[in-house]
């Protein structure tokens, strides 16, 4: 058995390394006090702007730390805190940038759509509860051991349960919150159960120690290793809404406020993916060679099967959907499958770009998904319902917003020239290089199936007449989100090389994930 390192207290220097997370925590506590002291007659829009300022400040600190670590083109030295419990590395920093940028756009969207929503009674809480959720996502990305990862997971989950139920005057929101709480509890139980088995056979929760201990543990505990990792995969499968663990997603997204649904689709899903990525490459990859290679192969294969099921289940179930929010939820199920592919194909001699493929598609997915939710928010608000027919005649009522939605639909469908096209293309080539040809076929088939329901939106906007001829009002902040996302989606499609090259230049799988030199 391997024993973990003894507890190492934080120093003042360590606190500076944690500045992005501590900044969010300080802003959260400040906003709680402001919300309690501010008279009810005053609006809570100022809390939303302060929340946005806190997220942007944290994003600036992450960028500053990352640039400082990589100055002069030199490889960054990983910063380990609390005996490797918390890691400041390029893997974590890249994903934190995605999470904080996504959360900032979601808050900006909420500032234009939540203010006049009578079903949300506690608007101050709505904004500042996004901060601990963001801290939880950042903690999951930086976790170096299973306990820290679980703490981050629970912080993200608990705040998400509350956020889903914020529409207290809606019958759907409490129901959605209850379903999400129950399924989230089951997910956490699966993850914790799996972690307990891995701890039992290795004697440690530190991923670096687990990496070293598992080969020896396989001699006596191979079955328990399977149980531990497969339970964790199932638990995270629920969190990311991957088939066959996806049934909760349409109901929860439909009942949640639209910005919260976007948060679940982008930040919460991305954080669970980050944790799964770190576990798979920080521990499971231990058995890539030797007589126990079948263990790692079976676990990675499980991810690929789950990815294939998610792609097919998400696209086929969306064919029957008339509710746009539920359709976007099922689109998220399919996209969870695409995001799982770079993790599942692992690293081979001819394929070593899993992380850059994963991050590129995650960035493209977050822009096109937040943009689509932003357009849906303004359209559903104008129509008074969430059905597909609310988009009817949109081109004639709000042509520029319709044009932006076409960009998002093209990207979600994976058509040129868009970020989603190159994201799927990179993933498809990665699967082909890893000789997972059956998966290549499923990626192509699911993408073709998705054309039907994605272009159903286009058909409504351009080929159907709406019940009203009035222009669709677009709040300023929602319009900013829509066009930031549209421009970014087109930019990723027109110039995919710079982002991929930058990711490859700063990220090292051996240094950032495997804890050992990688060759």
* pLDDT tens column, 401-429: 999 999 999 999 999 888 999 999 999 99
CA dihedral 205→210→214→215, nearest 10 degrees, is: -170
Asked if residue 299 lies in contact with residue 360, where contact means CB atoms within 8 angstroms, the answer is no
Q: Which helix (H) or strand (E) holds 80?
A: strand 79-81
Q: What is the pLDDT of residue 41?
A: 61
Asked if residue 375 lies in contact with residue 342, where contact means CB atoms within 8 angstroms, the answer is no
Q: What is the pLDDT of residue 99?
A: 96
Q: Which residue has the tokens 């809606």?
A: 170
Segment 227-235 shows an average pLDDT of 94
Asked if residue 125 lies in contact with residue 296, where contact means CB atoms within 8 angstroms, the answer is no
Burial 57-72 (b: 16+ CB within 10 A, else e): bbbebbeebbeebeee
Rounded distance between C-alpha atoms, residue 199 and residue 228, angstroms: 9
Asked if residue 214 lies in contact with residue 290, where contact means CB atoms within 8 angstroms, the answer is no
Question: In the chain, count of helices (H) and strands (E)?
Answer: 22, 2
Rounded distance between C-alpha atoms, residue 56 and residue 116, angstroms: 24
State the helix-helix crossing angle for 130-142 and 19-37, rounded to 10 degrees: 170
Asked if residue 426 lies in contact with residue 359, where contact means CB atoms within 8 angstroms, the answer is no
Asked if residue 207 lies in contact with residue 145, where contact means CB atoms within 8 angstroms, the answer is yes
Q: Which of 30, 263, 237, 12 minimizes the C-alpha distance to 134?
A: 263
- At 459, list the tokens: 């058909």
With 90 as the cut, is the pLDDT of residue 383 above it? no
pLDDT band at 350 (very low <50, low <70, confident <90, very high): very low
pLDDT band at 23 (very low <50, low <70, confident <90, very high): very high
- At 80, list the tokens: 């380990």
pLDDT band at 24 (very low <50, low <70, confident <90, very high): very high
- Name the DSSP class of 21: H
Asked if residue 509 lies in contact with residue 281, where contact means CB atoms within 8 angstroms, the answer is yes
Asked if residue 498 lies in contact with residue 398, where contact means CB atoms within 8 angstroms, the answer is no
Rounded distance between C-alpha atoms, residue 497 and residue 475, angstroms: 34
Segment 452-471 shows an average pLDDT of 81
Per-residue DSSP letters for 220-286? HHHHHHHHHHHHHHHHHHHHTT-TTS-THHHHHHHHS-HHHHHHIIIIIHHHHHHHHHHHHHHTGGG
pLDDT: which is higher, 297 or 341: 341
Q: What is the mean pLDDT of the chain?
A: 87
Q: What is the pLDDT of residue 44?
A: 73
Segment 52-67 shows an average pLDDT of 94
Segment 217-227 shows an average pLDDT of 86
With 60 as the cut, is the pLDDT of residue 268 above it? yes
Asked if residue 407 lies in contact with residue 371, where contact means CB atoms within 8 angstroms, the answer is yes
Residue 486: burial class (beta carbons within 10 Å; 0-12, 13-18, 19+): buried
Question: Helix, strand or coil for residue 10?
Answer: coil
pLDDT band at 11 (very low <50, low <70, confident <90, very high): confident
Domain boundaries, the chain: 17-514
Q: What is the pLDDT of residue 436?
A: 87
Q: What is the pLDDT of residue 490?
A: 95
Per-residue DSSP letters for 415-436? -SSSHHHHHHHHHHHHHHHTT-
pTM: 0.93
Q: Which of 442, 414, 223, 197 minimizes the C-alpha distance to 340?
A: 442
Rounded distance between C-alpha atoms, residue 287 and residue 250, angstroms: 37
Residue 25: burial class (beta carbons within 10 Å; 0-12, 13-18, 19+): middle
Asked if residue 113 lies in contact with residue 259, where contact means CB atoms within 8 angstroms, the answer is yes
pLDDT: which is higher, 462 or 294: 462
Q: What is the 3-state secondary structure (H, E, C) of 81-103?
A: ECCCCEEECHHHHHHHHHHHHHH
Segment 146-170 shows an average pLDDT of 92
Instruction: Supply φ then ψ for residue 323, to 5 degrees.
Output: -90, 120
Segment 38-59 shows an average pLDDT of 86
Cα distances (angstroms) measured from residue 347 to each of 7, 142, 144, 302 = 33, 21, 21, 16
Rounded distance between C-alpha atoms, residue 152 and residue 141, angstroms: 9
With 70 as the cut, is the pLDDT of residue 293 above it? no
What distance, in Å, lies between the first and last C-alpha atoms of the chain? 27
Query: CA 414, 415, 417 angle in degrees (round to 5)?
Result: 115
Asked if residue 419 lies in contact with residue 500, where contact means CB atoms within 8 angstroms, the answer is no
What is the percent of the chain with per-residue pLDDT over 90, rounded to a whole number? 55
């Amino acid at each position: 058995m391997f024993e973990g390192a003894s507890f190492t207290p934080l120093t003042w220097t360590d606190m500076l390394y944690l500045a992005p997370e501590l900044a969010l925590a300080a802003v959260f506590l400040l906003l709680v006090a402001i919300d309690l002291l501010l008279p009810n007659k005053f609006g809570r829009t100022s809390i939303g702007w302060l929340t946005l300022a806190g997220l942007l400040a944290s994003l600036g600190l992450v960028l500053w730390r990352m640039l400082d670590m990589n100055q002069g083109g030199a490889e960054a030295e990983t910063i380990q805190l609390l005996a490797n419990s918390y890691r400041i590395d390029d893997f974590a920093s890249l994903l934190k940038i995605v999470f904080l940028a996504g959360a900032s756009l979601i808050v900006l969207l909420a500032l234009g759509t939540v203010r006049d929503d009578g079903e949300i009674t506690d608007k101050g809480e709505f904004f500042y509860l996004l901060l601990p959720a963001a801290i939880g996502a950042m903690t999951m990305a930086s976790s170096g051991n299973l306990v820290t990862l679980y703490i981050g997971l629970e912080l993200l989950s608990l705040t998400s349960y509350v956020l889903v139920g914020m529409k207290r005057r809606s019958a759907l929101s409490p129901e959605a919150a209850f379903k999400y709480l129950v399924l989230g509890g089951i997910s956490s139980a699966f993850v914790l159960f799996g972690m307990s088995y891995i701890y039992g056979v290795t004697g440690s929760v530190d991923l670096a120690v687990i990496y070293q201990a598992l080969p020896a543990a396989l001699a006596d505990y191979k079955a328990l290793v399977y149980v531990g990792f497969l339970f964790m995969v199932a638990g995270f499968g629920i969190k990311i809404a991957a088939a066959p663990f996806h049934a909760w997603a349409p109901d929860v997204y439909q009942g949640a406020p639209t910005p919260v649904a976007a948060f679940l689709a982008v930040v919460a899903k991305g954080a669970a993916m980050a944790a799964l990525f770190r576990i798979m490459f920080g521990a499971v990859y231990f058995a890539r060679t030797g007589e126990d290679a079948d263990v790692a192969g079976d676990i990675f294969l499980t991810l690929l099967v789950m990815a294939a099921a998610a792609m097919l289940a998400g696209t086929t179930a969306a064919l029957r959907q008339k509710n746009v929010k539920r359709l976007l939820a099922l689109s998220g199920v399919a996209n969870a499958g695409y995001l799982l592919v770079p993790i599942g194909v692992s690293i081979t001699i001819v394929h070593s770009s899993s992380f850059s493929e994963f991050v590129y598609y995650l960035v493209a997915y977050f822009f096109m998904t937040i943009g689509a939710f932003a357009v849906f928010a303004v359209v559903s608000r104008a129509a008074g319902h969430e059905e597909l027919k609310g988009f009817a005649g949109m081109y004639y009522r709000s042509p520029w917003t319709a044009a932006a939605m076409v960009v998002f639909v093209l990207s979600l469908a994976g058509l040129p020239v868009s970020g989603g096209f190159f994201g799927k293309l990179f993933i498809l080539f990665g699967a082909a290089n890893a000789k997972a040809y059956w998966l290549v076929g499923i990626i192509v088939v699911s993408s073709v199936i998705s054309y039907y329901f994605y272009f159903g939106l286009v058909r409504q906007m351009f080929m159907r007449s709406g019940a009203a001829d009035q222009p669709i009002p677009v709040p300023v902040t929602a319009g900013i989100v829509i066009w930031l996302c549209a421009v970014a989606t087109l930019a990723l499609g027109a110039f995919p090389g710079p982002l991929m090259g930058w990711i490859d230049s700063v990220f090292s799988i051996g240094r950032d994930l495997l804890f050992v030199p990688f060759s």
